[in-house]
C-alpha cells in the first residue's frame, strides 16, 4: 500500500510546475513557474540559514541539510544564532529575538525570507528544490503556513526549553549539582 501511495505522490509531484520538463506546465503557469525557479532553484549560492543551535529538532534538520550539501561547499552558510557571538547586524539586522520567533533565510540576492518561504529557499539551496516548490504550491501552502505557525509557537515548550527562553538568550540546561 505504501509503495502505491509513494508512487502516486512522486508522479503527482513530477507534474508540479517546476520549469524543467513539462512544457504544458510552463505554458499553463508561467508566473508561478518563473517565481519558483528564481527563488527556489538548486543553483542558488551564498544562502544564509539562521537556526537555533540549541533546538534539537532544528539541529537534526540542519545536520541533514549539511550532509546534502557536502559536495557543494560554500553554497549555504548555516548560522547558529544561539552562539554568544551572533550579531544580527551582520545578517540584515535580524535580531536574536526575531530569529527565535521564526525561521529566517537570506538568499543569494540578499533578500530575507521568513517562515515557510525560508524553508523553500533553504531546501532549494541544498538540492531539494522540489520540496520547496511543493511547500509553496497554492493547494499546500495554507496547510504549511498553519502547521509551521503552530510549530514555531510551541517548539521551545516541545523541546523542553520553555522556562529558560522566556527572557534573553536561551541557555542549555546543565545537569550540575542541585541545591537543596
CATH code of the domain in which 70 resides: 3.40.30
- Whether 19 is in a domain gets the answer no
Asked if residue 30 belongs to a domain, the reply is: no
pLDDT tens-digit series, residues 39-65: 343 443 489 999 999 999 999 999 999
Provide the number of structural domains found in the chain: 1
Residue 33 belongs to a domain: no
Strand partners, 112: 106
Residues in the chain: 180
Comparing CA positions, the residue from 40, 13, 38, 18 lying closest to residue 29 is: 18
Please check whether residue 18 lies inside any domain of the structure.
Answer: no
CA distance 153 to 171: 18
Kindly report the pTM of this predicted structure: 0.67
Q: What is the pLDDT of residue 95?
A: 94
In a domain, 146, yes or no: yes
The answer, yes or no, to whether residue 4 has pLDDT greater than 80, is: no
Paired strand residues for 61:
none
23, part of any domain: no
Element (H, E) at 114: strand 112-114
pLDDT digits (tens, 9 = 90+) for 109-166: 999 999 999 999 999 999 899 999 999 999 999 999 999 999 999 988 888 887 666 5
Q: For the residues 3-23, what does the mean pLDDT come to?
A: 42
What's the first-to-final CA gap in the chain, in angstroms?
A: 56
Query: Which residues, at least 6 apart from 128, have a Cβ–Cβ distance to it below 8 Å?
Result: 42, 68
Q: The domain containing residue 140 runs over which residues?
A: 43-160
- Per the domain annotation, does 77 fall within a domain? yes
Report if residue 35 sits inside a domain: no
> What are residue 47's DSSP bridge partners?
76
Angle formed by the axes of helices 30-40 and 129-136, nearest 10°: 130
Amino acid at each position: 500500500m505504501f509503495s502505491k501511495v509513494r508512487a502516486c505522490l512522486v508522479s503527482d509531484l513530477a507534474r508540479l510546475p517546476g520549469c524543467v520538463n513539462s512544457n504544458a506546465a510552463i505554458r499553463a503557469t508561467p508566473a508561478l513557474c518563473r517565481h519558483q525557479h528564481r527563488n527556489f532553484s538548486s543553483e542558488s549560492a551564498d544562502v544564509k540559514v539562521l537556526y537555533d543551535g540549541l533546538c534539537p529538532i532544528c539541529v537534526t534538520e540542519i545536520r541533514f541539510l549539511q550532509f546534502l550539501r557536502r559536495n557543494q561547499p560554500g553554497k549555504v552558510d548555516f548560522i547558529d544564532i544561539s552562539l554568544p557571538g551572533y550579531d544580527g547586524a551582520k545578517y540584515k539586522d535580524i535580531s536574536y529575538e526575531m530569529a527565535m520567533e521564526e525561521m529566517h533565510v537570506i538568499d543569494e540576492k540578499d533578500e530575507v525570507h521568513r517562515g515557510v518561504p525560508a524553508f523553500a529557499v533553504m531546501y532549494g539551496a541544498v538540492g531539494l528544490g522540489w520540496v520547496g516548490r511543493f511547500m509553496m504550491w497554492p493547494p499546500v501552502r495554507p496547510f504549511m503556513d498553519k502547521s509551521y505557525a503552530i510549530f514555531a509557537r510551541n517548539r521551545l515548550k516541545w523541546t523542553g526549553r520553555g522556562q529558560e527562553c522566556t527572557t534573553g538568550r536561551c541557555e542549555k540546561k546543565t545537569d550540575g549539582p542541585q541545591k537543596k
